[in-house]
Every structure is written in structure tokens, then in C-alpha cells.
Structure 1
Amino acid sequence: MSATVLFHHVAKRCLYAHIRCISLFRSQHLSSNVENGEQKREEETESMLVYNPSAYYQRPTSRSSTVGRSETEEDLSRNLPLNPAFRQQRSPYSISALRRLSSTKNAQAASTPNATKESSVNNDPRAFQRCRPEYRNMTHDPSPRSSTVDLNEALLVLHKVTVQKGNMGPSEVSIFLSKLSQIPQEQTAVVRGDKRFNMLLRYSVEILENFTTPQLLDVLSAFVNLGLPQSNSILGLYETEFCRRASEMELHQLLLAADCWRCLGRVVPQYLERLYDNVSRNFNPMGVPELVQLLYIIGEGRRCPDTLVQPIESLLMRHLYQLKPEELSAVCLGLFKSQCSLSERATRRLMDRALAVVEDMSDFAIVNVMKLMRFSYLDHLPWLEAMGSEVPRRAPKMEVQGLMHVVLACSALHYRDDRILLAVAERLPSVANRYRSKDAAKLLWAFGTLGVLPKQCPNLYPCLTAILRERQIEFQQYPEHLLTGLLGLAFAGLLPEDLLSLALSEEFVNRACNSQELELKKDLFTLDGTVGLELPKYLPEA
């Protein structure tokens, strides 16, 4: 019956009952734990809860694409199980559980390059750098390297540091660090823990301004190979020096330094500002490799300055047909991560190019194109139709995060194609041990809002629901994942009482309402109202 409530017109009396349930929820579960200021905000929130039945049931109509919305609002509008493939107009109603993270959390995410890397078959976001030899001049190669210096030679270098002490010049320091960086990776910790290495770092800072730019870049590359922790205070001094001389550096040097900072996992907003300022004054000499690498850096920095959007779009359109499949992937991912909104015409041309080379794209690249479509709300039907063939062919090899982004894009675009959805649903139970609660929640949301019923995928909903139960500890830090998952289950007509009891418990409600990053009250009101209609005799456990 939940599907009826969530997907179809409801009588006015049901709406009134729904609103009464929400008010009752507020009075029973929230009022005792809020201060005056919070109470006022709750009243303002309630006034925004407009339950418009037409928002849940709309006929498929043509629409123009809306570009520029925040990607993680993810347009969580609801649509009906209609024909195997359909596109539906975007609903004005959206749930906040998947909305954008705060800028602080995004900055933290940007500082950990591999924290939530996708595990599709070809999941290397830097794969594009192997497409052309020109990338070697502007990127750091983090792939496993052949060691040319053993540990004994490294210790000999460190001995020379104690002998020369303060008599070392920039050349000696850069040579010493470069040699140390050539030891086997498993032995870098031995070097980093040696007091003589820390002595070398201090000497390097004392003569920082005397390094030539190539020497400075060699030293930064050595830090990457040696695995210098991103929190090392020495790196802050180096960033300051790079900022000071950024206006004198060539474009390839600027991009190489930015790439090294990225490999170190260190957030360097001041340096990136200098890079963007320099690039904005020198766009004309940029070719394909420079443009793609710039977009990669912009994406990893999670921000694209407004002054760069139009020049980037112009260059992309100029070089569009020279882009190789993995370069297209990097472009789409960079635009998605930085929330950079191109014009609809430019985005459609980018999608046309992706469609032309879709068979040569890696699974990871296809997922990145779907991310850009989700962010742009772009209804590029030829690409989506191609996914009806590509996803079933690729799904048996893909991993959880890639599959999740595919169906999440379909949900955001209100596009249902059972070839895509059933292929993903068939794969998901076989990778059940690799889920995060976030993955399970978003998958439940996507399948639920697209109207995929339990009888169509007998193993899907039990598997994803079991993941939520197994990952309950994660809800302490990410309460939004539980709410997202439960709302998705409600769309499918499923209301597991044990998880509902958790979501409506006093402890969880307090945690969700006290979230500094997300506004979750609407989701709690919606969930409680749905329970009030579907399970009128249900009482949450004390």
C-alpha cells in the first residue's frame, strides 16, 4: 500500500492525516529536545512541507535540460513504474537525505584521494594521463617504479647529510632527496623515520628561496615518492614558496606542481588560486592534454572559478573531437566534482562525442558520463538508449559503486529501462560483502523511486535491507543513509519495523536533527507520516 500512497493521487483526507501525523511526530519526538531557536526553525520547516500529489504522478513530457543544479541534491523526485523505458518530468519535491555535503566535508574529502575511490574494473581516475606522451611533462607518475637505489645506498646518502650539514646548496639537497625517493616503496618508512632525513628537510627549508623552479619541482616529486605525510608542516612552507613564484612558472610547471600536491593528498587552495589566475590569462596556448589535466585538477579541488567556465567551454568545444575516451571520462568527472555547469548546447555536444566512442570506454568512464548527466539533468536519450545495451554487457564485471551511480543517474533523470535496472539488480547480491551503508541506501532509493517492485527482483531488496542492518554502526556518523534507505523501501511497499524503530527512536531523531551538515527534519517528517498512514497501529519501541 506504500506504493499507492507515494506514487498515486491521494484523497484530501489522507493529506490532512499525513500532516497531522507529521505534527504529532514533531510534538512527540522533537519538541522536548529543541531550544527556542530550533523550535522556530522547525515551524519554518513545516511551512515548507507542501505535499502536492501531482508531484508524485506526472505524465512523461518533453523538457529542456536544466544545467547548474547541485549534483548531490540528486533530484530525488518520484516516478511511476510505467513502460520499460520512459523519461519523466522532474518533480519539484525532493528529499534532502542525499543533498550536498558541506564545504568543510568536501574539502576533507578532497584531501584523501583514495578514500572513496570507485571499484569498477577500470577505476583509475588518472588513466587518461597514459593517453598521450605530453602528459609526462605536467603530471607525476604514481605507478610502481623500478627502484634504482637500495636501502644501503639510501643510508649512505643520509650519512653525507650529517657530514655536509649546513654546507649543502640547493643542488645537493635536490639530488639527495631525488636519490632517496628511488628506494623501494616498502622501505620509505625507514628513511622517513631517520633523524638525518628530518635534518635534510630542515636544511631544504633554510635554502627554499634559492632553489630553481625545476629543482623545487624535483623536491616536491621526491616527497610524493617518499610518501611524506600530508600533515607534515614542511609542506606548508613549500606551498608558500610555490605560491610566491607561481606567476613566474610555465603552464606545465604549474600543472605538475598541482598534480604533485594532489598525489600527496594535501589541500592547497592558495596555490590553486594562483594556478587559476595564471591560466585565466594564458588560455590560448592550451592544447588537449593541458585542458584535460586542468579539468582533472579543478575536479580534485572541488571548485571551478566562475572566470574559467566560459574559456573552458570554448576550449572543450574547439578540441572536442580530439578527445580520447578516457580523456572524455576525465572531463566529465572533473566537471561533476567541481560542479562546473556548461551550457546545455556544450553538454549535449560532449554527450554526443561520448556516444560516438562509447564502445571504447572503460566501465569507469561510462560511470563518469552518467555522473555528469545526473548533475546536469541532461536527458540525452540516445546515450541512455545505448546504456540499455552497454550496462547489461558490463554489469557482471562492475562493482558496487559504479553500479550505484548508474541507477542513481537513471533515478535522477526519471528514466526507467528494465534492461539496465534488472542487469544491475542481478549483479548486486553477488557483491554484497563490498557495500557501504551509503551504497545500499542510494541503491534502495534509486530502485524504489523508479518503481522496481520486489517481485521483479526477488533477491534485491532483501540483500540491500540486510546491508542496512549490518552497517547500523555507520548511521551514528551518517544518519541520512538510514533515512534514504527507508524512504526507498517505502516506495517499494516495504516497511521493515526493526529499521523503522531505529529511525524513529529518540536517540536517532536527536542525532539526525542535530546534524550540522544536512537538514534531515523533512525526511523524518515524511517517514513518520508514511508510517502513520501505512502502519496506523505501529508504535516505535521505547
Structure 2
Amino acid sequence: MSARVLYRRVAGRGHVFPWLKKDSLRAKRLHGVRGETEAEAGERGGTETETQPLQAALPSSYRLHYSPAVYYRAEAEGQVPEVRAEGDEGKQRLVALARPFRRQTNHYSVSSSRRLSSTKNKLLDLAFNGSFERRTPSPPLYRREHQTPDLKLDPRAFQRCRTEYGSMTLDLSRRATPIQSKQAFLLLHKASVLKGRMKASDVTQFLSELGSLYQEQTPLVRSDTRFIMLLRYSVENLRQFTNAELLQVLQAFVRLGLPSTHSMLGLYENELIERASHMSLHELLLAADLWRCLGKQVPQFLKHLYNSVNLYLGQLGIPELVQLLYVMGEGRRCPNHLIQPIEQILMRHLDKLHPEEIGAVSLGLFKSQTSLSEGAVNCIVDKANAVIEEMSDFAMVNVFKLLRFSHLDHRAWLDIMAQEVPRRAPRMDVQGLMHVTLACSALHYRNDSILLSVAERLPSVTQHCRSKDSSKLLWSFGTLGVLPSQCPDLYPNLVEALRQRKAEFQRYPEHLLTGLLGLAFVSQFPEDLLALALSPQFVSQAVRNTQLELKKDFFTLDSTVALELPHWTGPRLASELGEEVAALLWKYAQSDICQKPEVLEAERLLQDLLGGEQFVCKRMILPHTRSVDLEVHLDSTGTPVPVDSSHEATSITEKSISTSPSHTGWQKIEITLTEDLLSQLVNSKKTTDPLALSATSRLPVLHRVEQDEGDRLFNVGVDLSGDLIGSITKPSSPVCTARDFHKATIKLAIQVSNRNHYCYQSQQLLGLHALKRRQLQLAGYRVVELNHWEWFPLLKKSHAEKLAYLHCKVYSSLDYS
């Protein structure tokens, strides 16, 4: 008898030769550390590895060959602590480990399953074997977001606020008396003896008891072929399980760490979908919670759950409501028909919510993108404000997320955050700090107490930043205008964190662009990252992604490099792509920004003031800044010069549409100043508004006028100095002719701003608008701003007052020195 045959006969009975022990133990140690066999790695979508077949060597040299690669996984997938085998327990593990060594073709073909009817198990065979024939390689490591090692937050902490959650959730912190692997293998042996005689209750009992195994030892059980046989019998008995048994089996799967990609779970999902209409509310919520614990997306089951909730609206108490919102948040969807009932029930129970439940509600609404009424959101934040001292950092950040999504500036909450964030920041994790800063950015709320405390904490934890965290932090600080001089260590550390995560940009290109734009807002330009972002390969890969619209960001970044880095010799965006984006931006601007009443009025009055539409060009001087300006040219004497935009490199060829009648010359534009008007302008009422210009005489106090986009108007006046009065009353200047073009031309970019260009209740420009102001000056323009707190109140005033204001703005920008 050959050595090969002898080995198969003996080993087939579960024995291992003494001379195999050394290699087998070595393999077992590897297996214990990594925690998966090749079969299980295949279930997780891992790259299928080819192992060397067992070969019986010549009788003089018996050696067992194996492939160590089978037992090694990438570091990104985590590690399982080493499990040492001793005594009888070690022998049983050794036997369990020896089986996968011999089976190299079908990892799920077990001898005991051959007695199952092939007709009866057609779906079963498909579930266990079909998917493995079509395995796809695992994505490369850069596709997995780096997990923050120091993250110790518990998103499910709210479930410990009330005992009622126990009937609809799985408490992962509690488990039955743990068992050793020796007991687990004994259970598997009993299951293999019963085989086809197992009933649904037997399967439930075996799996439930196995679920008590120590967590670090579960990989040994999952890799055992007897466990796989048990899974096959669980599927065969699927229809025989009661609802309680079915949920008990799913709980066992969670505790055993069954991968979410296991094809068998699809059969369980289908079974639960069929039973959904006959399950109680608590059973439905528990099933949804178990799917969440398994990490499997089950949109069809959740759809049935949401439809069933309509039948149980009267049973929705506080725990049911909070758990439902948690499930909706993790499923990233809330059906429209449930929004109003949920809001009504939430408002009814709001005063009784615990602090952690408020955080869970806020997170659920945020993740599911559920838009409650403004009053309801304010009530939730009011409640959070009242119990802020009892809230965890996690719950506090969730309230911030809700405000960010709702775009509401809850002043009381923002004020208390100015004390709470600096107190908590030294102990907060990277993601919490990122979300606080991002919420401030989204709300345009700059508070140095919050921002500088976050900036002080970040350098010590940036090694844990994902590319997403680094990029959003850079964007937020840049948007709010936090300068590098204010926090010298912040930007270098975040930039270095971006460099450490370069590989992630291949899947998440938006993170690199977000971070670089945030840096550009504060004049920071890391050239190695810019070269990567503008490289043809990176641009081509990013713009092919149909789920993201990144062309505008590429255009803004490329144009910024052209203006602010004149020495740049690195890659640039293709001119065709830039022209395409510029045309799209102008098309949008014509239908939106150009039609705003405050812009149209400024254009019409400037044409009246300067002598005709040829002296005012409404266009995007810098298209990459995504806004419109009114361009005016004056010579050195202040005489208007017709604006010819056809020769401008960044101009739009389409002629601006004017709504005002044309005028033929500056000499025909006159402002009649009567004694009454002059008295009104000079002897105006004083205002104490801090945003008004400082002067000794002002216009009468103006009434607030409602404008588009909810712009806030301020009661301010127009300064009238002796120079301004002289400018208004001086003789008209003749229109410049073609012979005067040789004179130096002063180019003005007149901007009509609104409150969304500034930080909340501040005169601090936001990042993109500060960048535009800086780059207009680099392009040779003098910026003249019609501030919204000055211009909007004047829109209801007389024609003469508006002309006086514009005349002051235009001519005070000239330098006659």
C-alpha cells in the first residue's frame, strides 16, 4: 500500500501521525492568531488563495506541506489573539484544523450532508457552494477606511437607559456563562452524531450554546466542518423555526461573529421578510437590530418593518420610538409617510427622554436625512441644552450633527458649546472633534474658544485620522478663516496625516480635493499633494466616478494654482475640461445669481451713474470662484472706460443682459440736490449699529426689508463726508474716447455680497470668498464691495440716495495720490 493511501485511511478517521504534530501545531498557531481558514476568508470576500495539495512524499521523508498564506490576512482586517492548545482540548483543535488541510476543493462539502436529499437542498447547495464559484477578489487595502484605534464610544449606550430595550435589542456587553473550546467541540460532536435526526429546537440549542464561546475562540468553531454542517441543517429547518427560535439563531450568529457576506444569511432574510406581517413590533425591531449587529444591509426587510409600523403607532412608547429611529439611521432612510407621525410622538415624549436617548434620536434623524419642522428641531436642541452636563461627548456631537443637517443656528446651544467644547476637547477622539468643527463650518459659526481648543488637541491624535477626518478638518478650519499663525502645529500635522493616507485617495478622491481647497483658503499649498491631485491619471479616475461631481473642485484648484503659484511647473487641468466647467457655471449664474434683485438694481444704477450699459459688465471675472461681479473700468482721472471683455482670458463671451434703459454719455447723468435732499442727507439720524460705517453724519434709520435666501438686513446709513458731497456736486467729466485708451486703466470688481459670504453675525469672510478677494487683487482688480448690511436697506430708498451710495463706493476706491 502506498504512503498516500495509508495516510488517507488513517487520517480520514481523525488521527494525526506523531511526525505531523510539529507542522500541524505550527499551522494551528498561525490559525489561532489570524482566526480564519481559507474557506472563511472566502466567505468574507477575501482573495482566493491556491494551496499546495497534500502529497505523500517518499517513504524516507514524510513531510506535510501547507501554504502559510492561507492563515495570514492583511493587517487591516484585524487580528485575533493567539489561542494556545493544551491537553485534550489541544488535540480536538488539532483534529479540527487538520480537516481543512485535506479539503482543497469544496470547503463546504461534508460527509454527513450526503444523506440530505439533493432535491430538497437545491437552494441550500446554491447558498453554500454557488457563491464561492463566483468569488471576487477582495478590494485592495486602500478601499477600507482606516478605523480610529482610540475610539471608545458606544453608539448603543442609549439601550442601557431602560430595561424595556432588552426585548427589542441585543446587549452585546452581556452574554451567558462562557464556555471553553473543549465544550464547544463536544457540542459539535453531538451535532454530527444526530445528523439528519436534528429538529429545529436541537439546532437552536446547539447554536445558542456555541454562541457562549469566548470571543477569541470563535474562529476555531467557525472553521470546523461540523459547524458548517450545523449551518446546513439550520437552513433545512428554516421553515420549522418559531419566530423566537429564528431570532435566537440570529443572536447566536452575531455572537459567533458570522460574516455579513455569508450567503446563507440571504435565506434567513427572505424568511424574515415572509414572516414580517405576522411578527410583533418588538420582534421586528429585534430582527432589525440583529441585522445591524451582523453588519448586513437588509433594505427589503426594513421596508416591511416600516410598513408594519403604521399598524403599531399606538404602541410606540419612548424605547420603541428611539430604537426605531436608531434603526432608520443605520438603514439611512426614513419613509415619508412616517415623518409626521414620528415627529408628533417625539414631541409628546420629548421631556421624558434621557440625555443619551436625545443623542440617539439626533443621530437617527441625521443619518436617515429626516427633515423635521424647524420648531421640532429647536425643541430637541432646547432639551439637549437643558441636560448638557449629563450628556456624553458622543451624544453632544450627535446634536451638533442634527443642527448641521437642519441648517439651524440655535444661539443658546452655540453659546453653551463655547464652554463645553473647550472643557471636553482634551479627551475627545478625532471623529468627534471633526464633527464639531464641521458643524461650526456648515453653520458658518466661528468661535475661537471652540476652534482653538480643537486645534490644540488635534496634533496629539492626528496619527489616528482617516483621510476623511483630515480633509474635513482642513476644509472647516480654512472655511472659517483660522490662520496658520493662530495654531502653528495644526496645518502641518493635518497635511502630514493626508500624506500618510495617500492610498485612500484612489477610492475617495473627494477627500484630497476637500483638504487641498481648505488649505488654499488660508494660502497653504503643499505642492506634492497638488501634483497628485492635478495629475492626469488622478483627474481621469475621479471624473469617471458618476456618483461624485468633482469637476468644479478640480477647476477651482487648478485656477487657484495658476494665480497663486506662478512658478508652478507641475501638471495642470486640461483646458477643455476647464472651459466645460466655466460654461456650466456661467449658465447656472445666468439663471440664478444674475437675476437676483439686489444684483439687477446695482447693475442698473451703475449704468445710470457711469453713462450706459457699455461701462458695466456683469460677468464671472474669476469663474472658478463661482460668483458674479460687476466689472467697471476707470482711467486715472476717474473717467469711465467702456468695458470690452472680449480680450479677457477669463471672460464669458455672451453679453450680459441689462434691465435698465441705455444712456449715451456721462455728461447727461445729473443728480439734482435740493436743499431738502441735502439737509436730509447731511442732518441724518445717528445709528448705533456696530456694522455701520463710522462717520459723524448718516442717512436716516432704514427699515428692514425681507430679501431672498433669508438675508439679514441691518439698519445702517451711508457716510457723507465733505469729499462725497463734493464728488456728487462736481461738474460731469467727459466720456473717454478711443484716443484715451493708452492711459492707465483702473479695473474695479464690484461685488454684491450677502450674509452667506460671511461668518455668522460677523464681518469675517468665509474661505471661498476670502480666496476670491485675494485672487481678484492678484489679477489686477480693485475690489469694491456693496456690503449686504449697507446695500440691502437702501433698496427701498430713493434713486438719489442709491446713486449717492454707489458714487461714494466707486470713487472712494480710486487712489489719486
- Residue number in structure 2 paired with 1:514: 544
Which of 364, 368, 372 pairs up with 2:394? 364
Q: 1:151 Cα shift?
A: 2.0
The residue matched to 2:545 in structure 1 has which SS?
coil
- Residue number in structure 2 paired with 1:403: 433
Q: Is the 8 A contact 1:258 1:297 kept in 2?
A: yes
- Residue number in structure 2 paired with 1:176: 206
Q: Partners in 1 of 2:449 and 2:498 — Cα distance?
A: 26
- Residue number in structure 2 paired with 1:334: 364
Q: 1:472 Cα shift?
A: 2.0
The residue matched to 2:313 in structure 1 has which SS?
coil
- Residue number in structure 2 paired with 1:452: 482
What CA deviation, in whole Å up to 9, does each residue of 1:34-56 have, x standing for no partner?
A: xxxxxxxxxxxxxxxxxxxxxxx
Q: Partners in 2 of 1:390 and 1:118 — Cα distance?
A: 23
- Residue number in structure 2 paired with 1:221: 251
Q: How does 1:479-494 map to 2 (within 5 A)?
A: 479-494=509-524
Bigger shift: residues 149-158 or 177-186: 149-158
Aligned in 2, Cα 1:188/1:292: closer, same or farther, shift over 3 Å?
same
Q: Is the 8 A contact 1:121 1:397 kept in 2?
A: no
Q: 1:421 Cα shift?
A: 0.4
**Is 1:471–2:506 an aligned residue pair?**
no
- Residue number in structure 2 paired with 1:540: 570
The residue matched to 2:216 in structure 1 has which SS?
helix
- Residue number in structure 2 paired with 1:426: 456
Q: Partners in 2 of 1:198 and 1:497 — Cα distance?
A: 54
Q: How does 1:163-202 map to 2 (within 5 A)?
A: 163-202=193-232
**Is 1:134–2:167 an aligned residue pair?**
no
Which of 279, 284, 292 pairs up with 2:322? 292
- Residue number in structure 1 paired with 2:266: 236
Q: How does 1:74-93 map to 2 (within 5 A)?
A: none
What CA deviation, in whole Å up to 9, does each residue of 1:158-179 have, x standing for no partner?
A: 1222222222222111111111
Bigger shift: residues 355-364 or 116-125: 116-125
Q: Partners in 1 of 2:550 and 2:242 — Cα distance?
A: 52
Aligned in 2, Cα 1:205/1:231: closer, same or farther, shift over 3 Å?
same
Q: Partners in 1 of 2:344 and 2:376 — Cα distance?
A: 9
Q: Partners in 1 of 2:199 and 2:478 — Cα distance?
A: 65
- TM-score with structure 2 setting the length: 0.51
Q: Is the 8 A contact 1:118 1:402 kept in 2?
A: no
- Residue number in structure 2 paired with 1:276: 306
Q: 1:353 Cα shift?
A: 0.6
Q: Partners in 2 of 1:195 and 1:414 — Cα distance?
A: 58
Q: Is the 8 A contact 2:355 2:390 kept in 1?
A: yes
**Is 1:496–2:526 an aligned residue pair?**
yes
Q: Partners in 2 of 1:253 and 1:408 — Cα distance?
A: 38
Q: Kindly report the root-mean-square deviation, in angstroms, between the aligned alpha carbons of the 2 structures.
A: 1.7
What CA deviation, in whole Å up to 9, does each residue of 1:50-106 have, x standing for no partner?
A: xxxxxxxxxxxxxxxxxxxxxxxxxxxxxxxxxxxxxxxxxxxxxxxxxxxxxxxxx
Q: Partners in 1 of 2:475 and 2:519 — Cα distance?
A: 7
- Residue number in structure 1 paired with 2:56: none
What CA deviation, in whole Å up to 9, does each residue of 1:442-479 have, x standing for no partner?
A: 11110011011111111111111222222222222222
- Residue number in structure 1 paired with 2:447: 417
Higher relative contact order (CA 8 A, sep 6+): 1
- TM-score with structure 1 setting the length: 0.77
- Residue number in structure 2 paired with 1:207: 237
Bigger shift: residues 372-381 or 115-124: 115-124
Q: 1:260 Cα shift?
A: 0.7
Q: Partners in 2 of 1:274 and 1:329 — Cα distance?
A: 26
Q: Partners in 2 of 1:426 and 1:220 — Cα distance?
A: 45
**Is 1:381–2:411 an aligned residue pair?**
yes
The residue matched to 2:367 in structure 1 has which SS?
helix
Q: Partners in 2 of 1:117 and 1:282 — Cα distance?
A: 38
Q: Is the 8 A contact 2:150 2:464 kept in 1?
A: no
The residue matched to 1:414 in structure 2 has which SS?
coil
Q: 1:399 Cα shift?
A: 1.3
Aligned in 2, Cα 1:451/1:496: closer, same or farther, shift over 3 Å?
same
The amino acid across from 2:171 in the alignment is: D
| 5+ residue gaps, structure 1 | 1-113
What CA deviation, in whole Å up to 9, does each residue of 1:204-257 have, x standing for no partner?
A: 222211111111111111111111111212211111111111111111111111
Q: Partners in 2 of 1:197 and 1:518 — Cα distance?
A: 44
Which of 275, 292, 295 pairs up with 1:265? 295
Q: 1:502 Cα shift?
A: 2.1
Q: 1:120 Cα shift?
A: 7.6
Aligned in 2, Cα 1:130/1:157: closer, same or farther, shift over 3 Å?
same
The amino acid across from 1:439 in the alignment is: D
Q: Partners in 2 of 1:505 and 1:148 — Cα distance?
A: 55
Aligned in 2, Cα 1:513/1:309: closer, same or farther, shift over 3 Å?
same
What CA deviation, in whole Å up to 9, does each residue of 1:398-454 have, x standing for no partner?
A: 111110110100000000100000000111111121112221111111001101111
Q: Partners in 1 of 2:179 and 2:528 — Cα distance?
A: 59
The amino acid across from 1:527 in the alignment is: L
Q: Is the 8 A contact 2:472 2:515 kept in 1?
A: yes
| 5+ residue gaps, structure 2 | 1-143, 573-817
Q: How does 1:45-60 map to 2 (within 5 A)?
A: none
The residue matched to 1:283 in structure 2 has which SS?
helix
- Residue number in structure 2 paired with 1:49: none
The residue matched to 2:261 in structure 1 has which SS?
coil
- Residue number in structure 2 paired with 1:102: none
Q: Partners in 2 of 1:197 and 1:469 — Cα distance?
A: 45
The residue matched to 1:282 in structure 2 has which SS?
helix
Q: Partners in 1 of 2:509 and 2:187 — Cα distance?
A: 52
Report the number of matched residues: 429
Q: Is the 8 A contact 2:169 2:286 kept in 1?
A: yes
- Residue number in structure 1 paired with 2:191: 161
Q: Partners in 2 of 1:314 and 1:183 — Cα distance?
A: 44
Q: 1:501 Cα shift?
A: 2.0
Q: Is the 8 A contact 1:158 1:196 kept in 2?
A: yes
The amino acid across from 1:514 in the alignment is: R
Q: Is the 8 A contact 1:122 1:362 kept in 2?
A: no
Aligned in 2, Cα 1:148/1:448: closer, same or farther, shift over 3 Å?
closer
Q: Partners in 2 of 1:458 and 1:148 — Cα distance?
A: 52
The residue matched to 2:375 in structure 1 has which SS?
helix
The amino acid across from 2:378 in the alignment is: R
Q: Is the 8 A contact 2:148 2:465 kept in 1?
A: no
